[in-house]
Amino acid sequence: MWQTPLAMEKVSLYMVDVDAQQAAMTLACLAVMHPLESKAGEQDLQDYPAAPYFTVYHDLNSRFGKIAIYLKTPFKQPATTTGIVTLDELQRLDEQLKEIWARVSELEELTRRQNEKMNVTRQLSSSLQKFAALDLDLSRLRRRGRFLRIVVGSVPSVNFDQLKRALSLTNFMINRFYSSEGIDHVVVFGSSQQQEDVHDVLDSADFRGLNVPQEFSGSPSQLRADLNREIEQENKTLDELKGALTELLSRHMPDLQNAHDLLRLAGPYASLATVLRGKGGLVFLLGWVPAQRDQEIRKKLERDLKFPFHVEFSAPEQKEYDAVPSLLKKSWLLKPFQALVRNFGIPGYREVDPSGLFALSYIFMFGMMFGDIGHGAVIVLASLLLWKRFPGVTIVGVLAGISSIFFGFVYGSLFGYEHVVQPLWMSPMHDPIKILLVAVLWGASFILIANLLAIRNYIASGLPRQALFSGKGLAGLFFYLAAFFASYQLLANNRFTWLEGLLLLLPMAVILQFQWRQSSGGLIERLLVVLIEGLEHIISNVSGTLSFLRVAAFSLNHVALAAAVFAIAGMMDAFGHGITVILGNIFIIVLEGAIVAIQCLRLEYYEGFSRFFSGKGKAFEPLKIET
């Protein structure tokens, strides 16, 4: 429950440049090293030997990604999982993929144009519906009259007004006869002498003319049939383009599979572009590794590298703690809870990983707020159904459900019925004050534990003054205990003497004095900051503790909701009663269950984590071969 991230060591590896790629591959296979960018020795080792490799890799990877989107079949598992990919190989591959992509891009552009063309034809076809009622010979639209020229077509609606004004400068008129989906279908007519000017303006306005074929001399319905044939033809062209793309990709599938395999192997070395430094044939690599694996790393490097190398492992210094990545111990049970902790932040290297405590308190609170044997059992069963798709949800759901069942026995509640099972303790409604008191005591214990963890984290991070004198440190802990004691004396014994006052004032004075030393600025400014922070400390402790009243409130709410369901059901006949009880229980499980889950998370994050957990740690991201 009190785990900390695994102990780390800084690894410094000096080697000959020809071995650098092999070293990257060896370390990637082990997946043990978190590479570290360091400015130390920057003047001596000015070169970044992996940078040119990265440039080619990056281009190649991006091009590969663009092509891969069009592939319908997944890649096969690579035959080799280890190996060195040279820069020349990458460059050759890049050239190959450049050609493939150029062809894919060309086909994509042709498809786009074809789609655009087809849309226009479709729109023209639908616009002809407006002519259908007229017995009009459309071939007249094709014939250029001696004085009058008529053009039919479509134009984007946004361009219509401006086009209308512009055409008036050429003595042409435009008339909208149908409008749909942002396209206006129009008739343009005017003097035959002005053709060039008009076409230029119409082109700019994205005007698409209705093409009346030479041989055509029929009615609108016949032209529409003609346009439909055109759409069919265009669809065929689209299919041909799709076919050409499929054929192209299947023809190049071996090349793409090769690119896929080589990119996997090239990834580790390319990712060291800004980390690996060198000069004159010597390269230097820095990183963090789990302390327990240093000998394994040394042995593997001795086995794989051709030339002599020098490797050093050293424990991190205190000043480096912020930079050390946190590798948390793996546990299938805690995995979903670790994910919820990560939502808040990653534990710092020397911080306690709160996942265990979080899991335990979350499950406990959920049960306390949602205690019901039947509802808990439904949650367990529903969660088990999700095992294959969402294993994390199942783990949290089953544990929360079991906790709910346990508290169901404690409260004597089964699907909201309070008199079927004998309670091990009592129903929350039986004595609400008692349950509220229990919630406050639970909250106080929770905050005290959080305070103790904060003190431990301060000490582990080398901050003894904060551990002793800050509001989250020992002084804060004493203040909280004193406040609790004073509240108890006042409420239970109606007593508040100099002793209680002194117990409160002493730790508060220490906290304020510490804050005074920490603050900077003018006298008034410092005074204000210290007073406000002191006040904020008192308020946050009080509000934090009272915040846990919701634990009791929701347990009461659960009973009250069930009572409301039974009251409604009581007004129905036997069938209606049954239906109401079933639906009411579903409503309680889904809605109240979700609210309780969120409220528990809120208490964990705001009343727990914010008191002891910085969440400013760095995730351990080892050099590895991507799958």
Partner 1 sequence: MSGFSSEYLNTRLSIYASRLISFEQLVNFIQYDLERIIAAVQELTGHYYQLDGAKSNLIENQLTNRAMDDFLILIRPFSGSERRFFYFAIRWFELANLKVLIRGKFSGIESLKIKQELIDLGQFADLPIKKLLETDDPYEMLRLLETTPYAGIVRQARRMYEEHGNDLFLLDATIDRSFFIDLNQRARFLRDQDAQYVSRVMGGLLDRFNLLWLLRYRFSYGLSAAKSFYLLTTTGNKLYASELMRLAKMDSIEEVIAALPDPYRDLLANIGVIANMETVMEYYSLSIAANALHRKSNLLSRSFAYIMLREAEVRFLQALIKGKQLELDPELIEQAVGASS
Residue with smaller CB distance to partner 1, 208 or 350: 208
Residue with smaller CB distance to partner 1, 139 or 170: 170
**Is 477 within 8 Å of 452 (Cβ atoms)?**
yes
Residues sharing a CB contact under 8 Å with residue 316, sequence separation 6 or more, in sequence order: 8, 9, 10, 288, 323, 324, 349
Q: Report how far Cα 292 is from the mean position of its chain's Cα atoms.
A: 32
Pairing of strands 325-326, 34-35: unpaired
The CA–CA distances, whole Å, from 5 to 89, 368, 559, 565 equal 40, 31, 42, 48
Given 81, 82, 86, 105, the residue binding partner 1 (CB under 8 A): 105
Residues sharing a CB contact under 8 Å with residue 469, sequence separation 6 or more, in sequence order: 475, 510, 511, 513, 514
**Cα-Cα end-to-end distance for the chain:** 32
**Residues within window 30-69 making contact with partner 1, judged by CB under 8 A:** 59, 62-63, 66
Residue with smaller CB distance to partner 1, 103 or 335: 103
Residue with smaller CB distance to partner 1, 111 or 614: 111
Query: Interface with partner 1 includes 98 (CB under 8 A)?
Result: yes
In 3D, which of 513, 547, 544 has the Cα closest to residue 612? 544
Query: Interface with partner 1 includes 201 (CB under 8 A)?
Result: yes
Q: How far apart are CA 538 and CA 544, in angstroms?
A: 10
Query: Interface with partner 1 includes 200 (CB under 8 A)?
Result: yes
Cβ 166 to partner 1, closest distance in Å? 4
Cβ 530 to partner 1, closest distance in Å? 28
Residue with smaller CB distance to partner 1, 100 or 444: 100
Query: Interface with partner 1 includes 165 (CB under 8 A)?
Result: yes
The DSSP result for 324-365, as a single string, is: SEE-PPP-TTTHHHHHHHHHH-BPPTTS--THHHHHHHHHHH
Given 37, 109, 247, 621, the residue binding partner 1 (CB under 8 A): 109
Cβ 170 to partner 1, closest distance in Å? 5
Query: Interface with partner 1 includes 120 (CB under 8 A)?
Result: no
Cβ 195 to partner 1, closest distance in Å? 12
> Total binding residues for partner 1 by CB under 8 A?
28
Residue with smaller CB distance to partner 1, 47 or 533: 47
Pick the stretch among 27-35, 157-165, 405-413, 545-553 that binds partner 1 (CB under 8 A): 157-165
DSSP annotation of 420: S
In a 13 Å sphere around the CA of 52, the CA atoms on its Cβ side amount to 7
Residue with smaller CB distance to partner 1, 197 or 294: 197
In 3D, which of 268, 312, 319 has the Cα closest to residue 288? 312
Query: Length of the chain in residues, anyone?
Result: 627
Cβ 57 to partner 1, closest distance in Å? 13
Query: Interface with partner 1 includes 204 (CB under 8 A)?
Result: yes
Cβ 173 to partner 1, closest distance in Å? 13
**Residues within window 464-503 making contact with partner 1, judged by CB under 8 A:** none
Given 168, 235, 292, 513, the residue binding partner 1 (CB under 8 A): 168
Q: How far apart are CA 23 and CA 494, in angstroms?
A: 73
Query: Interface with partner 1 includes 228 (CB under 8 A)?
Result: no
- Rounded to 5°, the CA angle 249-252-255 comes to 135
Q: Which helix or strand (DSSP H or E) is residue 267 part of? A: helix 253-270
The CA–CA distances, whole Å, from 63 to 70, 88, 271, 320, 456 equal 12, 17, 17, 39, 50
Residue with smaller CB distance to partner 1, 53 or 366: 53
Query: Interface with partner 1 includes 108 (CB under 8 A)?
Result: yes
Strands in 172-180's sheet, in edge-to-edge order, are: 172-180, 183-191, 148-156, 208-209
Residue with smaller CB distance to partner 1, 92 or 495: 92
Pick the stretch among 104-112, 208-216, 322-330, 429-437 that binds partner 1 (CB under 8 A): 104-112
Cβ 242 to partner 1, closest distance in Å? 16
Q: How far apart are CA 289 and CA 14, in angstroms?
A: 16
Residue with smaller CB distance to partner 1, 163 or 503: 163
Query: Interface with partner 1 includes 203 (CB under 8 A)?
Result: yes
Residue with smaller CB distance to partner 1, 58 or 130: 58
Query: Interface with partner 1 includes 242 (CB under 8 A)?
Result: no
Query: Interface with partner 1 includes 112 (CB under 8 A)?
Result: yes
Query: Interface with partner 1 includes 205 (CB under 8 A)?
Result: yes
Give the residues lining the site for partner 1 (CB under 8 A).
Answer: 59, 62-63, 66, 98, 101-102, 105, 108-109, 112, 158, 162-163, 165-170, 197-198, 200-201, 203-206
